[in-house]
Amino acid sequence: MALPGWGKGFVWLNDTLLGRYWEIGSQVTLYAPAPLWREGPNEIVVMELLQAGETLEIRDTPDLGPVLETSEPG
């Protein structure tokens, strides 16, 4: 689940806290495990603390932010 254009806050799916998000990153998406989804209507609650975006995206692949290159000692 991604919140492009949103500022900072928390997301619940069917009364279960998925986590917090912040526009400065580092992760871009929140994980919503399959057992939390119900057949039929699902309730998504977003508590935005700074600025609300226009869309909430349900994605099938995670975006955990940029990968830092590290060098191995040796």
CATH of the domain at 45: 2.60.120.260
Residue 71 lies in a domain: no
* pLDDT surpasses 80 at 68: no
Q: Tokens 């580092």 appear where?
A: 26
Is there a domain that residue 53 lies in? yes
Indicate whether 20 belongs to any domain: yes
Full-model pTM = 0.80
> Containing domain of residue 34, as a range?
1-65
pLDDT tens per residue, range 41-65: 999 999 999 999 999 999 988 887 7
Closest C-alpha to 50, from 19, 4, 7, 21? 7
Confidence grade of residue 70 (pLDDT, cut at 50, 70, 90): confident
How many distinct structural domains can be found in the chain?
Answer: 1
Which amino acid, one-letter code, is at 3? L
Average pLDDT over residues 10-21: 95
Residue among 60, 51, 43, 50 nearest 1 (CA): 60
Give the pLDDT of residue 72: 74
Tokens at residue 15, please? 């009364």
pLDDT at 2 over 80: yes
Whether 2 is covered by a domain: the verdict is: yes
Is residue 72 in a domain?
A: no
